Structure 1
Amino acid sequence: MTEAERTIITPDDDTPQRAGEPATGAVPAPATGSDADADAQVRAQAALRRRRRVLVLVGVAAFAYLLDVLSKLWVVHSLEGRAPVHIFGHYLELDALRNAGAAFGMGQGMTIVFTAIAVGVIVVIVRLSRRLYSTPWAIALGLLLGGAFGNLTDRVLRSPGGFQGRVVDFIAPAHFAVFNLADSAITCGGVLIVLLSFRGIDPDGTRHRD
C-alpha cells in the first residue's frame, strides 16, 4: 500500500490524517507513570545537591567563625596590653588592637553602620543559599558568612556595647593595616566571588556569557 493510500479521513474532519498520528484537536496523552517518576527523581536529586552545598556553606562558615573567635580569645588573654610579638622580624607582628571601624581599620567612628552592613550581608547570604548548587560559591559564601559573624560578635558583645563594640585586630604586617582572621575570611570570600563571576559561574551552578 502506498503512503497516500494509508491516509485516514476522520468523521469530523476532512483533513487527511496519517496512520499513527493523533487526530486533529486530540488532547495530548497524560504523562505516564514512568515519566512522573523520572521527574520526581530529578527534583529529589536537585534538592539533595542543594542541601549538600548548603552544608558546605555552613561548615566553612562555622570553621571560619570558630577560628576567629578562638584566636580573639587568645589575643585578649595573652597579647592585650603587652608588647607586640615579632613573627618575621619587623615584617609581621602580633599586636592586639581594638578597632571601631570596618575591616583593616577603615571607617573609624561608623561602627553602627558597619554593624548594619554585616547584618545585611548575612541576610543576603541566607537568601542566596535557597538556590545554591555550586560548591565554589558555597565555599565563598561560607567564608563571607563566617567572617561577618565573627566581627558581628565583637560588635555585639565587646565594649562599649550597644552594637558599637570594638573588633579585636592583631595581625600586623609591616606598612599595612592591622586585621584579624574574620577580615581575612571576608577578603578571601570576596576574591573568590569575583573570580567566579569573571568565569561566568552563578550560585545555581549554571554558566552565563556576557
Structure 2
Amino acid sequence: MPDSPSRTATVRALSVLFTVAVLWLGLDQLTKYLVVSNLEAGERIPVLNDVLQFILVRNPGAAFSLASGATWIFSILAAVVVVVIIVMARRIRSVWWGLVFGLLLGGVLGNLTDRLFREPSFGLGHVVDFISTPWMIPAIYNVADIGICVAMGVFILLTLLGVGLDGKRAVKQRPGADEVSDNESDAGHAEEPGTGAVSDGPATDGQTPQKEL
C-alpha cells in the first residue's frame, strides 16, 4: 500500500529536521575544536578588521555570554528543550518547520555538549564562544547561537504568515461571510406565496418540489 500524503510529508519534514540538526551540531563542534586548538583564551584575531573577529572565551552562562554562574540551570533547560523538540517532531509535516526545529535542536545540542563534556566538570562545562561582531551586537557567540537565532527568526516569520506545523496556512474568514452564506441558503428555499410551502429550487417538468413546514 502506498504511503499517504500525510505520512510522506511527515517523513520529509523529519528528514530535514534531523539532517539539519546533525550538520549544525557537527559544524558547531568542528569550529569550536579548531578555535580551542589554535587560540589562547582572550586572544583576538581580526578576520575582517572590526567587522568580524575571533576571540576565544569560555562562557559559563547562556547564549551570548549572558547569566554567567548558572551553568547547571542552563544544562537542565537545554535538556528539556531537546526532549520537547523530539516529542513534537512527530507532529511536523512542513519542511520549513523541520528547518526551524532542526536549527534549534542543533544549536541547543551544540551548547549542551559543551556543558556536559568540557571543563570544569560534567554538567558545569563552559561553552566555547569565539565570534565577535561588535558593530552588530556587543557579545561573543558561536555557531550554535547562530542556529538558535536563525531558528527563532524563521519561527516568527512562519507564525506571522499563519503557517502551521502541517504546512498549511490559516485562512482568515471575511467578516459577514456566515451571514452571506445563510442568506444565499434561505434564497434557495423561498416560500411559495399563498401555499405555506417552501421551494427547494427551480421547477422541473412543470412541477414545483415542496417541503412541508
TM range (shorter): 0.7 to 0.9
> Does the 8 A contact of 1:128 with 1:203 survive in 2?
no
- Name 1:46's counterpart in structure 2: 6
* 2:142 corresponds to 1:201: no
Structure 1 residue aligned with 2:145 = 183
Q: 1:87: Cα distance to partner?
A: 1.1
Change (3 A) 1:86 1:152: same
Which residue of the partner structure matches residue 129 of structure 1? 89
Aligned mates of 1:91, 1:138 — CA distance in 2: 32
Among candidates 110, 113, 121, match of residue 153 of structure 1 = 113
Helix, strand or coil at the partner of 1:208? coil
Q: Distance in 2 between matches of 1:91 and 1:49?
A: 41
CA distance in 2, matches of 1:82, 1:198: 41
Alpha-carbon distance between aligned partners in 2 of 1:201 and 1:117, rounded to the nearest angstrom: 27
SS at match of 2:4: helix
Partner residue in 2 for 1:163: 123
Aligned residue for 1:133, secondary structure, equals coil
Relative to structure 1, the CA distance from residue 133 to residue 151 in structure 2 (aligned partners, 3 Å threshold; closer, same or farther) is same
> Residue type of the partner of 1:162?
F
Mapped pair 1:97 → 2:57: yes
- Distance of aligned partners of 1:82 and 1:193 in 2 relative to their CA distance in 1, 3 Å threshold: closer
The runs of 5 or more residues in structure 1 that have no matched partner are: 1-39
Name the SS of the counterpart of 1:87 in structure 2.
Answer: strand
After TM superposition, the score normalised by the length of structure 2 is: 0.75
Matches of residues 68-147 of structure 1 in structure 2 within 5 Å?
A: 68-81=28-41, 83-147=43-107
Q: How many angstroms apart in 2 are the aligned matches of 1:53 and 1:161?
A: 36
In the superposition, the TM-score normalised over structure 1's length comes to 0.76
| Percent identical residues | 37
SS at match of 1:49: helix
Contact 1:104 1:179 in 2 (8 A): yes
1:202 and 1:51 map into 2 onto residues whose CA distance is 17
Instruction: Structure 2: give runs of 5+ residues left out of the alignment.
Output: 173-213
Higher deviation after alignment, 45-54 or 60-69: 45-54
